[in-house]
Amino acid sequence: MLQVTRVFVATVLALVIAACGDGDTEDAAETTAAPTTTAAPATTAAPETTAAPETTAAPAGGLGAVIMELPTTISNAEQAAEATWVVWDEDSCSFVETDDHPDFYQAVLREAGDSGYRFAWTPEDNVFDTLIVANESFRVAAAASGADVTEFDNQYPSEEQPLVVADLVVQHDPDVVLSMNVLANLNPAIMSQYKEACIPAVAHSVPHEGQPFFGGGEWYAVGRAQAEYLIAVAEGRGWTTGDVDVLLCSHSAFVQDRTSPYASIIGFREVVKESFDVGDDNIHELECPSDIVTDQANVADWLTAHPDTQNIMGFGINDLRTLGMVNALRESGRAETSIAGGVGLSQESVGPLCANDPTFLTSVDFVPQLWGEYGIAIAQDIAEGNPIPSEIYPQATVVDAETIDQATC
C-alpha cells in the first residue's frame, strides 16, 4: 500500500515535472531544510523548473531534454569544494581524480534521446520494503526518460547470486552498472570483474575503494535539517533560547562519530548551538535503546528530575525513539510545551504526522522513491564523461503534517 502510493506519487511527480516547462528557479541545495520553504514533494519539485534551456548544458552525445533535477548533497556534508571528484577513464578502465569540475553537483535526469546508453541496476533484493520502492523508482525513471535499464536481483542474503549477477552484467555489457551488493566481502571480486570488462561501476550502500559511491541517507545533514526545522517552529511560538531544553534520544550502541546514524545527533547539536544559541548545559543526551517503552521510561525519569524545564525541543536518532520520547512528554502532561522530530519517515512518524500530533512534528524521508532518478542521472553523467563527486547522496526531505503525502496516511 505504502510503496504503491509512493511509487504513484513519484510517477505523477516525474510526469508533472516532465510535462511542465518553466517556473521559478530556486536554490534547492541549502535552504530545503527550513520549514517554511520545505515540503517533501515540494522540495524535490523545487528544481522542477529546470527544463529545456539546461539541456544545452548537457554535453552533446545524444541525451535529450532534462526531465528532473535532483537535490544532491555530497561527500558526507562537506561542501563540494572539499569533495574529491572523479571521471571515468576509458583507457585505464577506472575512475580517476579530476580538478576540472563545477563547484556544485546536481544529479540531472535527462531523456535518453538517441544516446543508446544501457545501464544495469543490481539491487540487494526485491523483498525489503525500501528496495521494493527503490526498484520501482528505477522502472519509473527509466520509463520517464526512455533510458535502457536492466535490473539484476542480488537475492540477498545469497552469497552466490551477487557473483552470478556480476557475470550476467558483464555479458549484458552495459555502459554503467549501479551495483548494490551489501555483502562487503564479495565486492572485491565483483568490482574486479567489472574492471576487467571495462564497465564503470558505482557502489551503492556499501562503499568500495576506487568506485564512486551513491549512498542512501546522509545522517549529518539530516540532523542539521531537523534542528533548523524545529528552531523555526520554536521561534514561531515565541520560545527563546533561555527557556528551551534540548533532549536528544540516542543510543550507546552507535559509534559516536560521523560514520554512523549518530552523525544526525552531531548535526542537530551543532545547529541548536550555532543558530539558537543553546548552551551545552541545556542539551541533554539520553539513552534510548529503541524499545519505545524503555525510551519512554528513560525520558520520563529525566522529566521527573527536571521539573522546572519550560519548553522542550526533542530529537530522536530515529522515529521509534522519537515516539517513545513523545509518549513520555504526553504522559507527563508536557505535550503542549514540547516539539519533537524524528528520522526515517517510518510508521512511527507517519501515524503522528497524519494525525496532526501537537508534539511529534516532523521526520525525514530518505526518498528511496527517487533512487532510480538519482541512479540513472548519475549513470548518464558517467556515460557522458562528466565529472562526478566520489560520494553522492540524495537530499533527504523534511516532512511535516502539511507536507506529508496524505495517500500514505
Q: How far is the CB of 239 from another protein (least distance, A)?
A: 24
- Considering beta carbons, is residue 2 or 206 the nearer one to another protein? 2
Quote the cell numbers at residue 33: 531544510
Smallest distance, another protein to C-beta of residue 162, A: 20
Cell numbers that stand for 322 in this block: 522519537
The yes or no reply on residue 96 touching another protein (CB under 8 A) is: no
Q: What is each CA distance from 53 to 65, 142, 197, in whole angstroms?
A: 8, 22, 36
Single out the segment in contact with another protein by CB under 8 A; choices: 20-28, 142-150, 241-249, 319-327. Answer: 319-327
- Counted residue by residue, the chain has a size of 409
Binding mask 274-313 for another protein (x = CB under 8 A): -------------x-xxxxxx-xxx-xxx-xx-x------
Does the protein bind another protein through residue 331 (CB under 8 A)? yes
Question: Smaller CB distance to another protein: residue 4 or 293?
Answer: 293
- How many residues line the site for another protein (CB under 8 A)? 33
Convert residues 34-63 into a mask of x (bound to another protein by CB under 8 A) and - (unbound). ------------------------------
Beta carbon nearer to another protein, 19 or 305 = 305
Q: Residue 302 or residue 371: which is nearer to another protein going by CB?
A: 302
Closer to another protein by Cβ: residue 100 or 281: 281
Binding status of residue 128 toward another protein by CB under 8 A: yes
Which one among 83, 249, 320, 364 touches another protein, defined by CB under 8 A?
Answer: 320
| Contact track, another protein, 351-390, x by CB under 8 A | x---------------------------------------
> CB of 347: closest distance to another protein in angstroms?
4
User: Residues 350, 361, 383, 396: which binds another protein (CB under 8 A)?
Assistant: 350
Among the listed ranges 124-132, 164-172, 211-219, 239-247, the one in contact with another protein (CB under 8 A) is 124-132
348 binds another protein (CB under 8 A): yes
Least spacing, CB of residue 355 vs another protein, in Å: 9
Sole window of 85-93, 99-107, 205-213, 327-335 interacting with another protein (rule: CB under 8 A) = 327-335
Cα radius of gyration (the chain): 22
Segment near another protein (CB under 8 A); pick from 128-136, 255-263, 373-381, 390-398? 128-136
- How far, rounded to the nearest angstrom, does the alpha carbon of residue 384 sit from its chain's CA centroid? 25
State how far Cα 167 lies from the chain centre. Answer: 30
Kindly state whether residue 324 participates in binding another protein, applying the rule CB under 8 A: yes
Residue 347 interacts with another protein (CB under 8 A): yes or no: yes
127 binds another protein (CB under 8 A): yes
- Whole-number Cα distances in Å, 168 to 83, 131, 178, 213, 271: 33, 21, 14, 22, 47
Interaction of residue 132 with another protein, rule CB under 8 A: yes
What is the three-state SS of the chain?
A: CHHHHHHHHHHHHHHHHHHCCCCCCCCCCCHHHCCCCCCHHHHHHHHHHCCHHHHCCCCCCCCCCEEEEECEEEHHHCCHHHCCEEEEECCCCEEEECCCCCCCCCEEEECCCCCCCEEEEECCCCCCHHHHHHHHHHHHHHHHHCCEEEECCCCCCCCCHHHHHHHHHHHHCCCEEEECCCCHHHHHHHHHHHHHCCCCEEEECCCCCCCCEECCCCHHHHHHHHHHHHHHHHHHCCCCHHHEEEEEEECCCCCCCCCCCCHHHHHHHHHHHHHHCCCHHHEEEEECCCCCHHHHHHHHHHHHHCCCCCEEEEEECCHHHHHHHHHHHHHCCCHHHEEEECCCCCHHHHHHHHCCCCCEEEEEECCHHHHHHHHHHHHHHHHHCCCEECEEEECCEEEECCCCCHHHC
Question: Which residues lie across from 147 on neighbouring strands?
Answer: none
Instruction: Report, in Å, the least distance between residue 3 CB and another protein.
Output: 9
- Binding of residue 129 to another protein (CB under 8 A): yes
Contact residues: another protein, CB under 8 A: 2, 127-129, 132, 252, 287, 289-294, 296-298, 300-302, 304-305, 307, 320, 323-324, 327, 330-331, 346-348, 350-351
